[in-house]
C-alpha cells in the first residue's frame, strides 16, 4: 500500500518530466519552420520579394502591396478606391509612416522592432540580430496544436510571439504590439492556406485583428527576385 501511495505521488512529477523531455527547444521549432517553408538554401536565395494582396471592406476593396529587400528594407502601401490611404517604408534604420492624417518617422526601439519583423524571412536572422527566442509552451490556436515562442530584441525593449503548428511546423499566428508616439496597438495575425511559389510556401490568407477591427487579406500575387532597388525604400 505504501509503495502504491508513493507511486501516485511521483506520477505528476514523472508526467511533467516526460512532457518537458518531449517538448522541442525554441531553436528546433524555428528550424522546423524554416524547413517547412522550403529550406534554408531556398530562402537565402531570395533577395527581394513583392506580394500583392486584396481585402474586401465596407468601403470597398483595399489593395495592399508589400515589398521586402535584403538586408532589412521593406515597404507596405494600402490603396482604397484608387487612393493611397497608408504607407510604411523602412530603410533599415528608420521607418516612415504616412496616412490620410499626415506622416511621422520612427527611429530607435520602435523602428528596430518593425525592421526586425519585416526583414525577409526574419527567423533566419534572429541570431545575428541578437533576438532572444524562448519556448513558452504548447497552445491551441483555432483548434490547432501549436508551440508558442516569445521573441525579445537584444536591448529588451520589444517582445512579440509566434505560434507554430506542431505537425506541419508552419506559422499559425503572430501577436505584435507596435509602439509609436501615438500610443501602442496590439495586432494578431492568423496565417492560413499555404501554397508553394518558386519552391517556397507562403500563406495565401492572412486574418489581421486589432483595435481598428478585422481585415482578411488574400494574397493575389507573389514575385520573387524581380530586382527591387534601394531607392524604392526611401524614408526622406
The per-residue pLDDT for range 20-52, each reduced to its tens digit, is: 457 899 999 999 999 999 999 999 999 999 999
Grid cell 496590439 — which residue?
Answer: 186
Of 9 and 140, more confident: 140
At 15 the pLDDT is: 42
The answer on pLDDT for 210 being more than 60 is yes
Report the C-alpha gap between 73 and 68 in whole angstroms.
6
Buried b / exposed e over 81-100, threshold 16 CB at 10 Å, is eeeeeebbbbbbebbbbbee
Number of domains in the chain: 1
At 130 the pLDDT is: 93
215 within a domain of the structure (yes/no):
yes
> Looking at residues 45-67, what average pLDDT do you find?
94
Query: 185-200: per-residue pLDDT in tens?
Result: 899 999 999 999 999 9
Of 195 and 11, more confident: 195
121 within a domain of the structure (yes/no):
yes
Buried b / exposed e over 208-220, threshold 16 CB at 10 Å, is bbeeeeebbbebe
Query: 126-149: per-residue pLDDT in tens?
Result: 999 999 999 999 999 999 999 999
90 within a domain of the structure (yes/no):
yes
Q: Which domain holds residue 198?
A: 23-233
Percent of the chain whose predicted confidence (pLDDT) is above 70: 89
144 within a domain of the structure (yes/no):
yes
pLDDT classification of 181: cutoffs 50, 70, 90: low
In which element (H, E) is residue 28 found?
Answer: helix 26-37
At 19 the pLDDT is: 45
Residue 40 grid coordinates: 534554408
77 within a domain of the structure (yes/no):
yes
Q: What is the mean pLDDT of the chain?
A: 89
The answer on pLDDT for 180 being more than 60 is no
At 179 the pLDDT is: 67
DSSP-assigned letter for residue 23: S
At 7 the pLDDT is: 44
CATH number at residue 172: 2.50.20.10
Query: 104-125: per-residue pLDDT in tens?
Result: 898 888 888 889 889 999 999 9
* Residues recorded for the chain: 236
16 within a domain of the structure (yes/no):
no
96 within a domain of the structure (yes/no):
yes
76 within a domain of the structure (yes/no):
yes
Amino acid at each position: 500500500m505504501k509503495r502504491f501511495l508513493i507511486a501516485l505521488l511521483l506520477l505528476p512529477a514523472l508526467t511533467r518530466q516526460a512532457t518537458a523531455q518531449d517538448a522541442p527547444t525554441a531553436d528546433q521549432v524555428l528550424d522546423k519552420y524554416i524547413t517547412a517553408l522550403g529550406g534554408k538554401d531556398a530562402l537565402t536565395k531570395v533577395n527581394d520579394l513583392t506580394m500583392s494582396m486584396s481585402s474586401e471592406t465596407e468601403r470597398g476593396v483595399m489593395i495592399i502591396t508589400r515589398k521586402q529587400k535584403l538586408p532589412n528594407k521593406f515597404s507596405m502601401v494600402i490603396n482604397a478606391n484608387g487612393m493611397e490611404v497608408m504607407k510604411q517604408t523602412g530603410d533599415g534604420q528608420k521607418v516612415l509612416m504616412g496616412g490620410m492624417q499626415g506622416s511621422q518617422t520612427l527611429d530607435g526601439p520602435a523602428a528596430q522592432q518593425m525592421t526586425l519583423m519585416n526583414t525577409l524571412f526574419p527567423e533566419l536572422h534572429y541570431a545575428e540580430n541578437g533576438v532572444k527566442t524562448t519556448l513558452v509552451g504548447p497552445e491551441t490556436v483555432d483548434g490547432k496544436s501549436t508551440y508558442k515562442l516569445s521573441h525579445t530584441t537584444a536591448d529588451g525593449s520589444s517582445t512579440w510571439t509566434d505560434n507554430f503548428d506542431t505537425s506541419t511546423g508552419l506559422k499559425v499566428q503572430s501577436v505584435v504590439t507596435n509602439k509609436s508616439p501615438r500610443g501602442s496597438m496590439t495586432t494578431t495575425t492568423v496565417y492560413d492556406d499555404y501554397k508553394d511559389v518558386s519552391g517556397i510556401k507562403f500563406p495565401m490568407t492572412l486574418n489581421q485583428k486589432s483595435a481598428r477591427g478585422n481585415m482578411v487579406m488574400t494574397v493575389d500575387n507573389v514575385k520573387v527576385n524581380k530586382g527591387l532597388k534601394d531607392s524604392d525604400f526611401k524614408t526622406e
